[in-house]
C-alpha cells in the first residue's frame, strides 16, 4: 500500500513538473519569436520608409518646372504637349509609375501616359484627399487603388504656385509591388495597414483590403467617398479579448495567428507580421520535449549513479562523457541555428547596402557641394541668379545621376528587358566628361578630352554605358593619384582605328565593334590580383576605401550589351577595354 502511494506521488510530481516545463517553454518560445519579429520588422520598416521617401523630391521639382507652370498658366496645345512630354521623361528617368498634372478643379490636364490607350488626361480626381490638401497649398501623400487603372499605389502631391497662388497640383504615383515580392520570401505573412486599419499591402492576397479592427460607419463612408479601395469582408477575426491573436477562416478551415505590429515613421501606418500559432506551439513542444528528455536523462543518470555507485570507474567515465557530448551537441545546434538565421536575414540587405554605398558616394558628395554653394550664394546680397540657376540645374542632374546609378545596380542583380536605342559614343564621352567635372573636380584637371572626326554609334543603353565608363575612369584616377609618378596624365580620346596613338583612354572603330580603352600610368595590377579582378568585392586599392564593385558592374553592363570588358597590363600602368557591337550602318567595308 505504501509503495502504491509513493508511486502515485511520483506520478503527480512528474505531471506538475511537465506542466511547469510546458508553460516555461511556451513563454520562452513566444518571447523569442517576439524578439526576432521586432528585429526583422525594423529592417522591413527601414526599407519601407526609404521606398516612401525616395521619390518625395520629384513632385517638388516638377512643381517648379517651367513647362509644368506654363501648361497651367496658358493652357494650349503646345504648352500641354510640352507638359505631357516633361512628365513622361520624368516618369521614365526616375522610375515612377505615373506622373500627372491637375488643375484647380481636379481635372487632369497632362500625364506621363498621355499617349497610352488608358490615359489620365481628362479624368477628374477632385475627390481624392491628396488633391484637396494640395490645392490648399500643402504637400500630401495618399495610398489607394487607382481609380482609372485599378492598380494600387502611393501618391505624392505637391501644389503648383504662380505669384504665390495655387494654380494646380502635380502628382507622382509609386507602386510597392517589388517590396511585397521581397517580403514573400520571409517565413511569415507581412501586412501593412493604413490609418483606418485596412490592409493595403500584403504577402497574402486574400487579406488585401480587409480590416484588422472593426471600422465605424463614418470610416466606411469615408473610404467609399475617397475611393481608396473596396473593403472586403473581415477575415482577420479577433480571438476573444486577446488583441494579439487573430483567426483566419478559409475553405480549408481556420488558422490562428499571433499579430506583431510596429508603426512607420513616414506614414500613420502599421507594419504587421502574422506568425502561425501552430508553428509557435510546435516549436514550444520541441523545446519542451528536449528539456524533458534532458531532465529525464539527468534524472536517470543520477538514479543510476545512486544505485550502481559500486560499478567500476570506467563505467562512470563513460556516463560522464555521454552527458558532456549531449551538452556540446546541444550548444553546437543552437549556435548553428543562430548563424543560419543571421545569414539568411541580412545577406541580401548587406550586399545591397554595400553596392549602393559604393556607387552613390560620388554623386552625393557633388550634391552636398552644390547645396553648400547654393546656400552661400542665397545668403549673399546681390547673388548672381544665372549662377544660382546653373547650380540648381547641376543638382538636378546629380539627382538623376543617382537614379541612373540605382538602375545600373539592378542590371548587376538581374537581367533587364532593356530597350536599346542608337546612341552616339561621342555624346556619351562629352556627358561623362561633364559628370567627372561635377563629381571629381580636383581629379578632372588631369583628364584631357580629344575627339577626332568620325561616327561612332552603337545600339545600347546610354545611361549604363556612361556608368561603366565612369567606373573605369574613377579607378584610373585612384590608381594615378595614389602614386608618386612625376606626372599624372589621364586622357579621353575617340579615334578611328588607323589614328590610334598612345593615350590613356581611346575609342576605336575596329570592324564591327567599338572599343573604349581606359589606360593609366599608375602602379598596375599584380598577377595575383588580376585573377579575381572582376569578382564582386575584390579590390586592389591599398587603402581599402572601395568595395570592389565597380569593375563587376562595368563587366555586367558590357555583357548585357553583347560585348565584353577585358584587362591587359601595359608597360606603365593598366589598360581596361570595353568592347561593344557597332551599329551595322556605321561600319562600311
Mean pLDDT (whole number) for 87-114 = 93
Q: Which range is most confident: 14-23, 434-443, 446-455, 536-545? A: 14-23
3-state DSSP call for residue 266?
A: coil
Residue 49 confidence class, pLDDT cut points 50, 70, 90: confident
More confident call, 458 vs 456: 458
Confidence at residue 453, expressed as pLDDT on a 0 to 100 scale? 63
More confident call, 505 vs 217: 217
More confident call, 228 vs 419: 228
Containing 63, the helix (H) or strand (E) segment is: helix 57-63
- With 60 as the cut, is the pLDDT of residue 218 above it? yes
For cell 557633388, name the residue.
366
Whole-number Cα distances in Å, 211 to 191, 234, 245, 453: 11, 6, 15, 67
How many other CB atoms are there within 10 angstroms of residue 374's CB atom? 17
Torsions phi, psi for 119 (to 5 deg): -110, 150
What's the count of helices (H) and strands (E) in the chain, helices before strands?
Answer: 15, 19
- Rounded (to 5) percent helix, strand, coil in the chain: 50, 20, 30
117-148 pLDDT per residue, tens: 889 999 999 999 999 999 999 999 999 998 88
Containing 293, the helix (H) or strand (E) segment is: helix 277-307
- With 60 as the cut, is the pLDDT of residue 327 above it? yes
Question: Comparing C-alpha atoms, which of 506, 505, 420, 497 is closest to residue 465?
Answer: 420
Mean pLDDT (whole number) for 225-231 = 87
Residue 544 confidence class, pLDDT cut points 50, 70, 90: very low
The DSSP code sequence of 385-450 is HHHHHHHHHHHHHHHHHHHHHHHHHHHHHS------EEEEHHHHHHHHHHHHHHH-HHHHTTEEEE
- With 60 as the cut, is the pLDDT of residue 219 above it? yes
- With 50 as the cut, is the pLDDT of residue 232 above it? yes
Question: How would you label 188-218 residue by residue, b for 16+ Cβ within 10 Å and e otherwise?
Answer: bbbbbbbebbbbbbbbeeebbbbbbeebeee
Cell of 493: 580620346
- With 80 as the cut, is the pLDDT of residue 180 above it? yes
Question: Comparing C-alpha atoms, which of 170, 136, 189, 147 is closest to residue 64?
Answer: 170
Residue 522 confidence class, pLDDT cut points 50, 70, 90: confident
Confidence at residue 353, expressed as pLDDT on a 0 to 100 scale? 62
492-520 pLDDT per residue, tens: 555 544 334 344 555 544 457 777 878 77
Confidence at residue 496, expressed as pLDDT on a 0 to 100 scale? 43
- With 80 as the cut, is the pLDDT of residue 319 above it? no
Confidence at residue 154, expressed as pLDDT on a 0 to 100 scale? 93
Confidence at residue 370, expressed as pLDDT on a 0 to 100 scale? 74
Confidence at residue 82, expressed as pLDDT on a 0 to 100 scale? 94
Residue 419 confidence class, pLDDT cut points 50, 70, 90: low
- With 50 as the cut, is the pLDDT of residue 320 above it? yes
Mean pLDDT (whole number) for 371-377 = 77
More confident call, 414 vs 26: 26
For cell 546612341, name the residue.
423
- With 60 as the cut, is the pLDDT of residue 411 above it? no
Confidence at residue 509, expressed as pLDDT on a 0 to 100 scale? 46
342-372 pLDDT per residue, tens: 555 445 455 556 556 656 766 777 777 778 7
Q: Tell me what the pLDDT averaged over the chain comes to.
A: 79
245-267 pLDDT per residue, tens: 777 766 666 778 888 888 988 88
What distance in Å separates the CA atoms of residue 564 and residue 125, rounded to the nearest whole number? 49
Whole-number Cα distances in Å, 482 to 475, 485, 486, 522, 523: 11, 9, 12, 8, 9
Confidence at residue 542, expressed as pLDDT on a 0 to 100 scale? 52
- With 60 as the cut, is the pLDDT of residue 55 above it? yes
For cell 497610352, name the residue.
116
Q: Find out whether 158 and 63 touch, Cβ atoms under 8 Å.
A: yes
What distance in Å separates the CA atoms of residue 233 and residue 225, rounded to the nearest whole number? 18
Confidence at residue 348, expressed as pLDDT on a 0 to 100 scale? 47
Backbone region of residue 197 per phi and psi (left: phi > 0; alpha: psi in -120 to 50; beta: other values): left
Give the pairing of strands 447-451 and 490-494.
Answer: parallel
HEC sequence for 90-134: HHHHHCCCEEEEEECCCEEEEECCCCCCCCCCCCECCCCHHHHHH
Q: Find out whether 227 and 147 touch, Cβ atoms under 8 Å.
A: yes
Mean pLDDT (whole number) for 186-200 = 88
What distance in Å separates the CA atoms of residue 365 and residue 92, rounded to the nearest whole number? 25
Confidence at residue 483, expressed as pLDDT on a 0 to 100 scale? 66
Torsions phi, psi for 150 (to 5 deg): 75, 10
Question: Comparing C-alpha atoms, which of 434, 585, 575 is closest to residue 509?
Answer: 585
Q: Which of 94-98, 292-296, 507-511, 576-580 has the lowest mean pLDDT?
A: 507-511
Mean pLDDT (whole number) for 170-190 = 87
525-541 pLDDT per residue, tens: 777 777 777 777 656 65
Question: Comparing C-alpha atoms, which of 149, 174, 172, 151 is closest to residue 101?
Answer: 172
Confidence at residue 491, expressed as pLDDT on a 0 to 100 scale? 58
Question: Comparing C-alpha atoms, which of 233, 229, 241, 239 is closest to residue 194?
Answer: 229
- ∠ CA 415-418-419, nearest 5°, is 165
Confidence at residue 503, expressed as pLDDT on a 0 to 100 scale? 46
Q: Which of 259-273, 522-536, 566-580 has the lowest mean pLDDT?
A: 522-536
How many other CB atoms are there within 10 angstroms of residue 418's CB atom? 14
Q: Find out whether 521 and 574 touch, Cβ atoms under 8 Å.
A: no
Q: Find out whether 99 and 90 touch, Cβ atoms under 8 Å.
A: yes
What distance in Å separates the CA atoms of residue 121 and residue 151, rounded to the nearest whole number? 17
Amino acid at each position: 500500500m505504501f509503495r502504491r502511494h509513493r508511486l502515485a506521488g511520483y506520478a503527480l510530481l512528474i505531471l506538475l513538473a511537465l506542466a511547469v516545463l510546458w508553460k516555461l517553454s511556451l513563454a520562452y518560445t513566444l518571447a523569442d519569436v517576439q524578439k526576432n519579429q521586432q528585429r526583422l520588422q525594423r529592417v522591413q520598416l527601414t526599407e519601407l520608409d526609404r521606398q516612401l521617401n525616395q521619390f518625395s523630391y520629384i513632385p517638388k521639382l516638377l512643381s517648379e518646372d517651367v513647362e509644368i507652370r506654363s501648361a497651367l498658366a496658358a493652357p494650349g496645345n503646345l504648352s500641354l504637349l510640352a507638359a505631357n512630354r516633361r512628365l513622361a521623361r520624368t516618369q521614365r528617368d526616375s522610375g515612377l509609375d505615373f506622373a500627372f498634372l491637375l488643375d484647380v478643379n481636379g481635372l487632369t490636364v497632362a500625364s506621363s501616359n498621355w499617349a497610352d490607350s488608358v490615359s489620365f488626361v481628362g479624368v477628374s480626381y477632385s475627390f481624392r484627399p491628396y488633391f484637396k490638401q494640395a490645392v490648399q497649398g500643402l504637400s500630401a501623400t495618399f495610398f489607394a487603388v487607382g481609380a482609372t487603372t485599378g492598380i494600387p499605389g502611393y501618391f505624392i502631391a505637391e501644389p503648383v504656385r504662380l505669384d504665390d497662388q495655387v494654380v494646380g497640383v502635380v502628382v507622382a504615383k509609386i507602386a510597392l509591388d517589388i517590396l511585397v515580392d521581397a517580403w514573400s520570401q520571409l517565413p511569415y505573412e507581412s501586412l501593412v495597414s493604413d490609418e483606418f486599419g485596412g490592409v493595403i499591402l500584403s504577402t497574402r492576397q486574400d487579406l488585401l483590403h480587409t480590416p484588422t479592427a472593426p471600422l465605424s460607419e463614418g470610416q466606411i463612408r469615408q473610404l467609399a467617398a475617397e475611393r481608396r479601395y473596396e473593403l472586403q469582408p473581415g477575415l482577420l477575426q479577433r480571438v476573444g479579448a486577446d488583441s494579439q491573436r487573430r483567426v483566419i477562416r478559409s475553405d480549408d478551415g481556420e488558422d490562428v495567428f499571433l499579430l506583431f505590429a510596429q508603426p512607420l515613421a513616414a506614414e500613420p501606418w502599421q507594419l504587421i507580421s502574422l506568425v502561425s500559432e501552430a508553428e509557435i506551439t510546435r516549436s514550444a513542444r520541441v523545446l519542451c520535449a528536449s528539456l524533458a528528455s534532458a531532465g529525464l536523462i539527468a534524472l536517470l543518470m543520477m538514479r543510476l549513479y545512486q544505485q550502481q555507485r559500486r560499478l567500476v570507474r570506467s563505467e562512470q567515465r563513460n556516463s560522464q562523457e555521454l552527458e558532456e557530448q549531449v551538452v556540446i551537441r546541444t550548444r553546437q545546434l543552437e549556435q548553428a541555428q543562430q548563424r543560419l538565421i543571421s545569414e539568411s536575414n541580412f545577406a541580401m540587405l548587406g550586399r545591397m547596402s554595400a553596392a549602393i554605398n559604393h556607387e552613390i558616394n560620388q554623386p552625393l558628395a557633388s550634391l552636398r557641394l552644390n547645396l553648400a554653394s547654393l546656400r552661400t550664394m542665397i545668403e549673399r546680397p546681390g547673388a548672381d541668379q544665372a549662377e544660382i540657376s546653373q547650380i540648381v540645374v547641376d543638382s538636378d542632374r546629380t539627382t538623376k545621376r543617382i537614379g541612373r546609378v540605382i538602375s545600373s545596380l539592378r542590371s548587376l542583380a538581374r537581367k533587364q528587358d532593356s530597350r536599346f536605342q542608337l546612341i552616339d559614343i561621342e555624346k556619351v564621352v562629352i556627358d561623362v566628361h561633364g559628370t567627372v567635372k561635377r563629381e571629381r573636380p580636383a581629379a578632372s584637371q588631369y583628364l584631357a578630352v580629344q575627339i577626332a572626326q568620325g561616327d561612332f554609334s552603337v545600339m545600347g543603353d546610354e545611361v549604363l554605358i556612361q556608368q561603366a565608363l565612369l567606373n573605369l575612369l574613377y579607378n584610373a584616377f585612384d590608381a594615378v593619384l595614389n602614386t608618386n609618378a612625376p606626372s599624372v596624365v589621364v586622357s579621353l580620346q575617340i579615334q578611328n582605328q588607323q589614328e590610334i596613338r598612345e593615350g590613356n583612354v581611346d575609342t576605336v572603330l575596329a570592324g564591327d565593334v567599338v572599343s573604349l580603352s581606359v589606360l593609366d600610368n599608375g602602379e598596375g595590377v599584380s598577377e595575383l590580383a588580376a585573377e579575381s579582378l572582376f569578382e564582386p568585392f575584390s579590390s586592389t586599392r591599398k587603402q581599402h576605401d572601395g568595395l570592389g564593385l565597380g569593375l563587376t558592374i562595368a563587366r555586367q553592363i558590357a555583357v548585357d550589351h553583347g560585348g565584353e570588358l577585358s584587362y591587359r597590363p601595359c608597360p606603365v600602368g593598366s589598360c581596361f577595354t570595353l568592347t561593344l557591337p557597332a551599329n551595322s550602318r556605321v561600319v562600311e567595308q
